[in-house]
Structure formats: C-alpha cells, structure tokens
Chain A
Amino acid sequence: MITASNITHQHNGKPVLKDVSVQIPGGGITALVGPNGAGKSTLLSLIARLQPLQSGQVLVNGLDVQTTPARNMARTLAILPQTTEVTPRLTVAELVGFGRYPHHRGRPGPQDVAKVDEAIETFDLTDFRDRPLDSLSGGQRQRAFVAMVFAQDTEYVLLDEPLNNLDIAASRSLMQTLQGLTRDHGRTVVIVLHDINYACAYADTMITLTDGRLGPCGTPGDIVSDAMMQQVFRTDARILRVGDRVLVEA
C-alpha cells in the first residue's frame, strides 16, 4: 500500500497540491485523473521521489521515500517519467536491460538476462530488440520504456501519462498488457491518465484531483457520475452506462 499524508506542494510560490492525503491499495491498476494542472503528475513524482517533499510524508509498503536508501527504493518502486530523453543509438534490449540495474549494479547475471528477455517478450518488442530507440515509432518507443520499468521487477510501478502520443490501438494494447501484469504477476500499477474513458475501462481504483485537492475516490463504476464530471472536470459531459461499462461522452 502507498500512503501519502498531508502533502502540500508549491511550485514557484504557486500551490500545486493542498493537503492531499490518499491511500493507494496494493494490487490492480489505480488511475490518477483530473483536469490539466490539477497536480496529478506532481503527486506521482512526489510519491516516486523525483522531487523532494516540501511537507507531508509518503510511505510505500511502510518505507519512507525520503529516507529509504535509493537502491532499496528502486527495488520496491519503479517510475516511468512523462518525458523521457532518448540517448542516441541506445537499442531496445540495452534500454530494457537498464531496468535490472538496481538489482545487479552493472554486472548482470543470468537471472537478469532472463528477466530482460521476458519483459521484451511481454511488451511484444522481440522484432525490435536490436533496433536503436530513435529509429522506432512513438508507440514502440513508449512500449520499450514501459518494458524497462517492468524489468525492474518492483511491486509498484508508476507511469506518468504513458498514453501520450499513442493511437487507440497502441493505447489499448498497452493498457491490456498492464492489466494482465497486475492480474498474473501481482504488480500494482499507478498511472496518470489524461483520458477518463481509459481510466473507466481499465482502472480498478480511480483517484480524482481538482485544483490540488483530492476529489472522489473509488471504483470507476461507483464514483463516475454527471455530478462528479461537473465537480472534477467542470464540464457537463453525460455518462453512458453500457452493461457494467461506464462511458463518458466526448
């Protein structure tokens, strides 16, 4: 379980998060949703210790992210940041191999090689294995980065808007792979999503943020409603229910 308590954060004097306390359950996919500038990515990067906490505390499985040694943290929690720089000529297999770094510190063993092969297969990258990243399409490259984060073999995997720049086929296949990994491998995925429909379709838990404050949290079927769309996104989009599926009008 990830427990964030009393997180208040300012960026250049402007408040981004205001006293946010939230618990993210272990297992399944938890989606962070909210309008632009609501503080979703900031909350995720604070949980992942990409930025130092200004106030409050984050515990991941009881480990304080501020004080736990970086290497131990990297074996519990993995993060895929929103913008990733691409080192020229780095191949897919080399990139995915870096996911094992927290375990081997530069000297990969047979187990690390096996995990890398497994991640490459899971994310359907076998054909691109030895291709440099800068020769791949946006979707393929994003899959390679997600594969690296999964090769890290951590209980918690945090992804910041991984569907950016992906078309519908690539988005769906990525979300389905993530769903499979939470179900079959017991991973916990925390994901910032821009499109609430993807959150409704794939998330087990939804956490909403507006203007730096926590909104309704729960399963998408329970919390997504006309009133919630008005409160969180300030739009009058209608909700359609098809069977047990929730769809938000575009």
Chain B
Amino acid sequence: MPTKLLAGLSLAFALICVAYMTVDAKAGWDFILPFRGTKLLALVVVGVAVSTATVLFQTISGNQILTPSIMGFDALYVLILTGSVYALGGLVVADLAPIKTFLITGSMMVVVSLLLFGSLLLDNRQDLFRMILTGVILATLFRSLTSFLQRIVDPNEFAFIQVASYARFNDLSIDTLAIAAPLTALAVVSAWSMRFRLDVLMLGRNISIGLGENPHRGYLVTLLLVAVLVSVSTALVGPVAFLGLLVVSLARFVLPSPYHSHLLPVAALISAITLVGGQLLMERVFRLVTPLSVVIDLVGGLVFLTLILKSLRR
C-alpha cells in the first residue's frame, strides 16, 4: 500500500515539476532553465524541510496537532535576525553575504531553541493543552519583541527586517540556497537514518526506555534537526505558519501506517507537491493576485481548528 502511494506521489511530483518548468515558457531555455530551476529547487527544499521538521516535532512532543511554527520556532528565527540587525546595524547585516547571515542566525537559532524548548520537551511530556498554551505565549512573546525592536531601529534597517518577517514564495532568498539545500539534505538523511528509533520514541519516554532506547539523547538530536530545518525554511521564505500542519495532517490522512519510514517520504512529497503546485497556480493561473502563503494559512488554519475541536470532543 505505501509503495503504491509513494509511486503515485512521486509521479505527481515529477509531473508538477515538469509543468512548473515548462508552462508559459516564452523566453529562451538558457534563461528559463536556471531561473525557474533555482526557484523550483528552493520550493522543494522548503517543502521537505517544513514537512520533516513537523513530523519530527510531533514525534517528540507526542501529539499530532502541534508544529514547530505553532510553538514559535519561526518567530524565534525572525526575532534572532531582528536582534542581530539591531545589535550590529542593518547595513552591517545587509553587507554580509546572505550565507554568512544565515550561518550566524541559524547557529544562534539552534542554541536558543535547544535551551528554550529542550527543557520543555525533554524532562516530561506535557499535556497537549499546556503545550499549546506555552507555544502561543512563546510565539506571541517572540513576535512582540520583534515588533518592539522593529519600532526602535532606523527606517532603513526596518525595511530589511520587514522583508524577513513575512512568508514570501515569489521572492525567495535564492542566495542562501547554496548552503540551505545541502543542510536540508543532511538533516533529512539524519532523520531517515534514525527512522526506526523515531518509531520507538513516538511511544513515549518510559516505553522507549523499556525497549532499550535512550529517549533523552533521541529527543535532543531530533530537536536539533528541527531547529536546523526551521532555520533553513525560514531563511528561504520566511515564517510559514500552517504549511507543516496542513501537509503532515494530509499525509497521516492518506497513509494508514504510523511508521516514520513511510510517513517521512509521503509527507515530504505531499509538501513539495503543495508548494510547487500552489506556486504554479498562483504564478500562471492567478497571475500573482493572491500570495500562496495566504491560501496555505487559510486552509492550514482550518485544519488546525478542526484537529483541536476533534481532540476536545474525545
């Protein structure tokens, strides 16, 4: 069953990629190939990073509603970026190669999120509603701090931050791709190599110990991967609120198996198809009247509400 599903999704993904590259191709191929090709690669990298981060986070937090975005990971990244613009000055940050900016912000992101979310997740699994509450509070805190900093920086620096604080699928930070793509590949390969351990970690701390897994180490490594993947996707397109929830819920819906060896690739393919297909529709059919992020957040937000209401009824 998963083999068939995987084959179908891979086919759909290949078709969508071909369509994205060829529909409405008016310019010469030597322009279109690199132009659309890099954009396509960036969209796929973001899709895979977001879906993998979401699956990993849901595994270690023991629920299927929360995502890194809902817990405030993206907001934290934007805050760190804003903080460094404030501390160093926008011109310094803008002068740095985008790759350097990304490396600095990304490594700070990994450290801070391990400190903040580590204590929340590692010691004891909290119940779902306390986690949601914590996430909402943290995300709001990060956003408020960001907007506070934005208010006190000078207007030129503000413009720089402004761009980074919203999801932007039309204007991806292509420069970062050279480092973002290999990092994502590395994180995805690591996640794949621990797929059986993730299955066990999903059963909770005590059962993991009983089955001979060290949950503390497993949670820590997973959290590290989540921080890296969120940094990558946020650096490329900005915060994507409900994309992860949308695509992973969809993957769980079409996939009967709970195993990560099935869930990780299916979620990644669905995520990439959603992004590339959605962007194709927005660019070629709707002529960029609506940003893709608005549509994804609308549908994803509805999925989030439905899931919460369902878990309340149980």
| Chain A residues within CB distance 8 Å of chain B | 45, 48-50, 70-75, 78-81, 84-85, 87-90, 94, 98-99, 101-102, 105-107, 149, 152
Contacts and interface: CB of A to CB of B under 8 A. Distances in A.
A85 B210 contact: no
B204 A85 contact: yes
B200 A98 contact: yes
25 contacts: A50-B210, A70-B212, A70-B213, A70-B214, A71-B212, A75-B212, A79-B206, A79-B210, A81-B206, A84-B207, A85-B125, A87-B202, A87-B258, A89-B252, A90-B258, A98-B203, A98-B211, A99-B211, A101-B199, A102-B212, A106-B196, A106-B197, A107-B196, A152-B210, A152-B211
Contacts of B199: 98, 101, 106
Contacts of B213: 70, 101
B143 interface: no
Contact of B211 (A49, A74, A94): A74
Given A70-B212, A71-B212, A88-B64, A81 B196 contact: no
A50 B206 contact: yes
Contacts of B252: 89
B248 to A, nearest CB: 13
Contacts of B256: 89
B135 interface: no
A117 B280 CA distance: 49
Contacts of B204: 84-85
Contacts of A48: 209-210
A10 B125 CA distance: 21
A223 to B, nearest CB: 30
- A interface SS class: loop
A79 B203 CA distance: 13
B195 interface: yes
B62 interface: yes
Nearest to B210: A79
A72 B211 CA distance: 10
Contacts of B195: 106
Contacts of A98: 199-200, 203, 207, 211
How big is chain B's contact interface, by range?
Answer: 20 to 34
Contacts of B209: 48-50, 70, 79
Given A106-B196, A106-B199, A101 B211 contact: yes
Contacts of A101: 196, 199-200, 211-213
A137 B202 CA distance: 22
Interface of B: 62, 64, 125, 195-197, 199-200, 202-204, 206-207, 209-214, 252, 256, 258
Nearest to A134: B314
A31 B196 CA distance: 34
Contacts of B212: 70-75, 101-102
Contacts of A102: 211-212
A148 B204 CA distance: 14
Nearest to A87: B202
A73 B212 CA distance: 7
A24 B213 CA distance: 25
Nearest to B194: A106
A73 B195 CA distance: 22
Contacts of A73: 212
Contact of B210 (A74, A105, A106): A74
B125 A78 contact: no
A74 B203 CA distance: 15
Closest 10 CB pairs of A and B: A106-B196, A74-B212, A81-B206, A71-B212, A79-B210, A102-B212, A85-B204, A70-B212, A101-B211, A90-B258
Contact of B196 (A45, A78, A105): A105
Nearest to B202: A87
Contacts of A49: 209
Given A45-B206, A74-B211, A98-B207, 12 more contacts: A48-B210, A79-B206, A79-B209, A81-B210, A85-B204, A89-B256, A98-B200, A98-B211, A102-B211, A105-B196, A106-B199, A152-B211
Nearest to B206: A81
A7 B125 CA distance: 26
A136 to B, nearest CB: 14
Contacts of B203: 85, 87, 98
Q: Which of B62, B125, B212, B213 has the largest count of A CB atoms less than 10 A from its CB?
A: B212
Q: Which of B199, B203, B210, B213 has the largest count of A CB atoms less than 10 A from its CB?
A: B210
A7 to B, nearest CB: 18
Nearest to B62: A85
B28 to A, nearest CB: 50
A67 to B, nearest CB: 13
Contacts of B125: 85
Q: Which of B62, B195, B197, B213 has the largest count of A CB atoms less than 10 A from its CB?
A: B213
Nearest to A149: B210
